[in-house]
Amino acid sequence: MAESRLRNLGTVFTRIKGLIRGGAMKFEDRPLWYDVYEAFPPKLTPTAERPTVFKEIKDIMYPEDIIRAHFYKHFSSPGVINLVSPTGHTLSQKFVDTFLELAKDSRIPRNQLVQAALDEMAAQGTPLESEANVDIDYRKAGDPVYTNEREPFMPAGPFKWHKRGV
């Protein structure tokens, strides 16, 4: 069978189409996939020299990342994490959930949220101990991450958070 072996020129479809048009291949002898390709062409033309689509790749960050980092700094990684099962939560995730739940209550002072979350977890049967003072100093002067007055555990900087969950 006469065939073009120029793999970098055109696509599989255009090469076969050219052979049919030029008379080197009869239409009846076309490959089995030819009609399928014609009916369902790929979204991107499969040529070797297809121009690259440039797209800025952004960092994916969540508001609770700071809380989670704080947790791992003080409590390292306690316990067993089951990587096989997709269900269940890690200890740090439970801490983050408790923290965010308590943060909705505006009566709790912002700089005591961590201690409040620890107390709450202890009340639920998960006491955690740490050596040092556990509270985050959110209003650390000069730190742009912690200077958002309205929501102290949210950053004020030029970050854009992705919403969690689908």
Partner 1 sequence: MLARRTAQWLSQYLHRAGTTSTLQPRRHVQSLPLEQPNFRQSSSVFDSVIRESKDQTVVRSSELPPAIGRADEPIVDILKHPDYFGVKKLFTVKEMFQCGVHLGHMGGTLNERMQQFIFGKRFNQLIFDLDITAEYLRDALNVLSHISYRGGIVLFVCRDRQNCHIVEQTAIDCGEYAHTRYWTGGTLTDATNIFGGATRLPDVLVFLSTMNSILEQHIAIESAAIVNIPTVGIVDTNCNPNLITYPVPGNDDSPSAIEFYCHVFKTAIQNAKQRRLDDDRMKS
Which of 126, 135, 154, 159 is in the footprint of partner 1 by CB under 8 A? Answer: 126
Cβ within 8 Å of residue 36, ≥6 positions away: none
- Of 27 and 54, the one with the shorter C-beta distance to partner 1 is 54
Q: Which of residues 70-99 bind partner 1 (CB under 8 A)?
A: 75-76, 78-82, 84-86, 88, 90-91, 94
Binding status of residue 130 toward partner 1 by CB under 8 A: yes
Residue 94: Cβ within 10 Å count: 16
Residue appearing with tokens 């209003």: 139
Tell the smallest beta-carbon distance from residue 52 to partner 1 (Å).
Answer: 5
8-state DSSP, 132: S
Structure tokens at 128: 């955690």
Structure tokens at 31: 């490959």
Cβ–Cβ < 8 Å for 13, 37 = yes
Binding status of residue 132 toward partner 1 by CB under 8 A: no
Given the rule CB under 8 A, which residues bind partner 1? 3, 5, 7, 11-12, 15-16, 31-33, 35-37, 39-40, 42-44, 46-50, 52-55, 57-60, 75-76, 78-82, 84-86, 88, 90-91, 94, 125-130, 162, 166
